[in-house]
């Protein structure tokens, strides 16, 4: 690192901060700042040189032969040096003997209690956040370089201005790093919520030291990508769920339906509950404690405690309880934050997206007691005071950005039967024959052997290529039917039945977000009804016959997924169970 000699004002190089006794300057940049190139030239009468001379004199009078200043001690034409400096900056402030904070817009006649102190530009800049926290001693100087006070003497005012707890600002035998480790990710993010930087990426880079992480600097990637990379690095180094406890304003939330688990900017962590509640690390063990999350370029894989939202007929809306506490400053009473997730896939119970990020729910004993800043809106009666069932830990994947929905390629049918607790002599005699092959169904020329009958079996496929886009289904429709002959006793007992299949949309969820998949359905229909075209009843879910009585046994069907030639299909399968078996109908919902 380079340091300014406080006597000669010349730069000297040191391998590590420990090699020199130095002070450090914290300030906001203005016109005429002295750069690394300028310091090699003769001194001039500029505001920048005056700042260097004044701060060097204060450091020298305090017994420090060296001073670090960000404007001239970094060669910003070298991207490698700039990256090293930014990744090391918190450490440099932490190891400095004293930090001199120069408030250029605070005049001498003002008292610290004057509102002008709270409105100093120094308190809203991104880089000065770590400069406020990291040093062991911080001295504030006014525009004419008169001492205003110390961080400790001004802690009450600074806490109100910055949102940082007074304990972080008070003199203490513990290092600032140890204090930071006691704060949650969301709490530290909230301190940066109202700060700004000149370069958009710096809004993320200025927080590296606060979270004790390092990452490459990619100027040009934009503020959003830089901030998400920061959060991904935080996730790799901590199991703190509070990083997901953010919320947007109602206006921003309304811009799109689906969101990821990571916020776009620090302002999402602003304390929105009347500034009365802060998010703290959980004090007690849960079943999810110390479970690792995996951050990738596609999204986040994490274990969350999920519970379905009552009154959601779609079955896709869940509340994820976060492993952190929301509590009032100085209070021991804690609430549990929760976020709203929507299931994205028919066949995968582990894929979700976040919805309605303007709602950061607060729960007490599984009852929602607060639904966010916008709880006066349409969802107030739905969410407020709702009691949830016990949440269960589940591994989920939430993408950063939802890909366009995709459905299986079509429907497969194999003319075979699965058995449930049937005697072998009854099960082995069951065969299924397809009596008719409607034009919608294609013979699948891949012969397989039925293990029960040792006979060759064909398959039938109904592709969606000739039908409407399954994603755009707005009402139940019929895709096709197959006339089947079920033989239970080697030709002695035969039944004819038509298996009708189709797709239908999910019921609307309470938040009005679009469904991300459609649901396959089936029904058993008599041949006469199919021949006569009387299939209107099966379009009504309640009218579908999902069982067929066959000589003391029940014939059912179910859906699952099967891969064929690298594509997934809905596979509809038949199953025979004893009459009266208490089982749940499997209709793919």
Same domain for 424 and 369: no
CA distance 215 to 195: 21
Percent of the chain clearing pLDDT 90 (strictly above): 59
C-alpha separations of 422 from 336, 425, 430, 552, 585 in Å: 49, 8, 11, 11, 18
Q: What is the pLDDT of residue 385?
A: 72
**Closest C-alpha among 285, 256, 518 to residue 406:** 518
* Mean pLDDT score, 383-400: 90
Find residue 488's DSSP bridge partners.
none
In a domain, 203, yes or no: no
Same domain for 565 and 538: yes
Local confidence band at 188 (pLDDT 50, 70, 90 cut-offs): very high
| The two structure tokens encoding residue 151 | 């961080």
**DSSP structure class, residue 284:** S
Same domain for 300 and 151: no
- For residues 284 and 259, the answer to whether their CB atoms sit within 8 Å is no
Q: What are phi and psi of 524, to 5 degrees?
A: -95, 125
Same domain for 391 and 439: no
Same domain for 457 and 379: no
* Mean pLDDT score, 109-129: 84
CA distance 27 to 93: 13
CA distance 257 to 249: 14
Local confidence band at 451 (pLDDT 50, 70, 90 cut-offs): low
pLDDT in tens, 273-285: 555 688 998 888 7
Same domain for 130 and 78: yes
* Mean pLDDT score, 37-50: 86
Q: What is the pLDDT of residue 197?
A: 96
> Residue 425: pLDDT above 50?
no
Helix residue ranges, H only, 41-101 = 47-61, 79-95
Same domain for 256 and 139: no
Domain boundary among 167, 182, 197: 182
Percent of the chain clearing pLDDT 70 (strictly above): 87
C-alpha separations of 517 from 342, 347, 354, 424, 563 in Å: 11, 10, 16, 39, 18
In a domain, 215, yes or no: no
> What is the CB neighbour count within 10 angstroms for residue 47?
12
> Residue 415: pLDDT above 50?
yes
pLDDT in tens, 231-244: 999 999 998 999 99
Edge-to-edge strand order for the sheet containing 147-150? 11-13, 2-5, 66-68, 22-26, 99-102, 138-141, 147-150
Q: What is the pLDDT of residue 589?
A: 36
For 478-510, the three-class secondary structure string (H helix, E strand, C coil) is EEEEEEEEEECCCCCCEEEEEEEEEEEECCCCC
What is the SS3 assignment for 434?
A: strand
Q: Which residue reads 């239908």 in tokens? A: 504
Same domain for 418 and 393: no
> Residue 83: pLDDT above 80?
yes
**Closest C-alpha among 377, 293, 370 to residue 338:** 370
Domains contained in the chain, number:
3
| The two structure tokens encoding residue 241 | 């769920």
Q: What are phi and psi of 370, to 5 degrees?
A: -150, 140
* Mean pLDDT score, 86-102: 96
Local confidence band at 424 (pLDDT 50, 70, 90 cut-offs): very low
Same domain for 535 and 393: no
Higher per-residue pLDDT: 451 or 526: 526
Domain boundary among 354, 371, 399: 399
> Residue 583: pLDDT above 60?
no
Same domain for 512 and 371: no
Q: What is the pLDDT of residue 456?
A: 59
Local confidence band at 585 (pLDDT 50, 70, 90 cut-offs): very low
Q: What is the pLDDT of residue 376?
A: 44
> Residue 588: pLDDT above 50?
no
Q: Which residue reads 């999402």 in tokens? A: 268
C-alpha separations of 383 from 361, 443, 539 in Å: 8, 51, 32
Q: What is the pLDDT of residue 210?
A: 96
**Closest C-alpha among 525, 529, 534, 541 to residue 587:** 541
Same domain for 271 and 173: no
Q: What is the pLDDT of residue 427?
A: 46
* Mean pLDDT score, 358-368: 90
| The two structure tokens encoding residue 398 | 């939430």
Contacts of 455 (CB under 8 A, 6+ apart): 431, 449
**Closest C-alpha among 129, 123, 94 to residue 203:** 129
In a domain, 583, yes or no: no
CA distance 561 to 408: 8
Higher per-residue pLDDT: 28 or 530: 28
Structural domain harbouring 455: 410-578
**Closest C-alpha among 321, 318, 301, 322 to residue 310:** 318
Same domain for 418 and 364: no
Least confident segment among 90-99, 284-293, 297-306, 451-460:
451-460
For 380-407, the three-class secondary structure string (H helix, E strand, C coil) is HHHHCCCECCCCEEEEEEEECCCCCCCC
For the chain, what is the mean pLDDT?
A: 87
Q: What are phi and psi of 81, to 5 degrees?
A: -70, -40
| The two structure tokens encoding residue 558 | 């179910």
Q: What is the pLDDT of residue 324?
A: 92
**Closest C-alpha among 34, 55, 30, 31 to residue 44:** 34
pLDDT in tens, 141-179: 999 999 999 999 999 999 999 999 998 998 776 678 888
What is the SS3 assignment for 525?
A: strand
| The two structure tokens encoding residue 434 | 């397809």
Local confidence band at 118 (pLDDT 50, 70, 90 cut-offs): confident
């Amino acid at each position: 690192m380079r340091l300014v000699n406080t006597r000669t004002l010349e730069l000297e190089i040191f391998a590590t901060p420990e090699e020199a006794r130095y002070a450090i300057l914290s300030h906001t940049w203005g016109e005429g700042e002295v750069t690394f190139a300028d310091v090699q030239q003769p001194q001039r009468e500029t505001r920048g040189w005056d700042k260097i001379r004044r701060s060097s004199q204060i450091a020298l009078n305090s017994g420090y032969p060296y001073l670090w200043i960000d404007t001239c001690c970094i060669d910003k034409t070298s991207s490698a040096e700039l990256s090293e400096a930014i990744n090391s900056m918190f450490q440099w402030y932490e190891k400095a003997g004293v930090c001199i904070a120069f408030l250029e817009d605070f005049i001498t006649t003002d008292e610290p209690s004057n509102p002008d102190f709270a409105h100093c530009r120094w308190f809203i800049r991104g880089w000065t956040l770590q400069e406020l926290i990291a040093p062991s001693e911080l001295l504030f100087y006014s525009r004419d370089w008169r001492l205003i006070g110390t961080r400790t003497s001004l802690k009450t005012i600074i806490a109100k201005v910055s949102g940082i707890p007074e304990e972080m600002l008070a003199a203490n035998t513990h290092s600032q790093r140890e204090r930071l480790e006691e704060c949650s990710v969301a709490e530290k993010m909230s301190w940066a919520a109202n700060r700004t930087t000149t370069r958009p990426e710096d809004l993320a880079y200025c927080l590296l030291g606060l979270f004790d992480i390092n990452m490459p600097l990619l100027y040009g990637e934009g503020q959003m990508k830089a901030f998400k990379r920061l959060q991904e690095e935080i996730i790799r180094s901590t199991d703190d769920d509070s990083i997901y406890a953010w919320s947007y304003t109602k206006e921003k939330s309304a811009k799109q339906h689906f969101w990821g688990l990571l916020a776009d900017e620090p302002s999402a962590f602003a304390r929105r509950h009347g500034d009365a509640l802060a998010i703290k690390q959980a004090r007690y063990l849960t079943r999810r404690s110390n479970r690792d999350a995996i951050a990738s370029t596609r999204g986040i894989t994490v274990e969350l405690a999920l519970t379905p939202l009552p009154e959601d007929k779609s079955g896709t809306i869940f509340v994820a309880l976060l492993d952190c506490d929301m509590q009032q400053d100085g209070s021991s009473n804690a609430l549990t934050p929760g976020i709203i997730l929507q299931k994205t896939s028919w066949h995968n119970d582990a894929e979700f997206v976040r919805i309605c990020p303007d709602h950061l729910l607060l729960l007490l004993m599984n009852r929602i007691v607060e639904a966010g800043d916008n709880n006066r809106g349409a969802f107030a009666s739905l969410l407020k005071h709702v009691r949830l069932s016990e949440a269960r830990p589940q591994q989920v994947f939430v993408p950063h950005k939802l890909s366009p929905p995709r459905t299986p390629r079509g429907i497969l049918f194999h003319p075979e039967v699965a058995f449930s607790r049937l005697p072998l002599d009854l099960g082995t005699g069951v065969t299924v024959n397809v009596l008719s092959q409607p034009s919608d169904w294609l013979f699948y020329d891949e012969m397989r052997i039925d293990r029960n009958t040792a006979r060759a079996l064909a398959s039938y496929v109904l592709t969606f290529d000739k039908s409407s886009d399954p994603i755009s289904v707005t009402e139940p429709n019929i895709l096709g039917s197959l006339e089947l002959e079920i033989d239970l006793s080697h030709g002695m007992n035969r039944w004819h039945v038509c298996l009708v299949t189709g797709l239908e949309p999910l019921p609307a969820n309470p938040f009005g977000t679009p469904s991300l998949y459609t649901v396959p359905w089936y029904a058993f229909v008599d041949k006469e009804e199919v021949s006569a075209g009387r299939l209107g009843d099966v379009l009504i879910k309640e009218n579908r016959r999902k069982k067929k009585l066959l000589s003391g046994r029940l014939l059912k069907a179910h859906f699952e997924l099967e891969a064929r030639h690298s594509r997934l299909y809905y596979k509809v399968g038949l199953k025979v169970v004893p009459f009266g078996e208490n089982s749940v109908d499997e209709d793919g919902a």
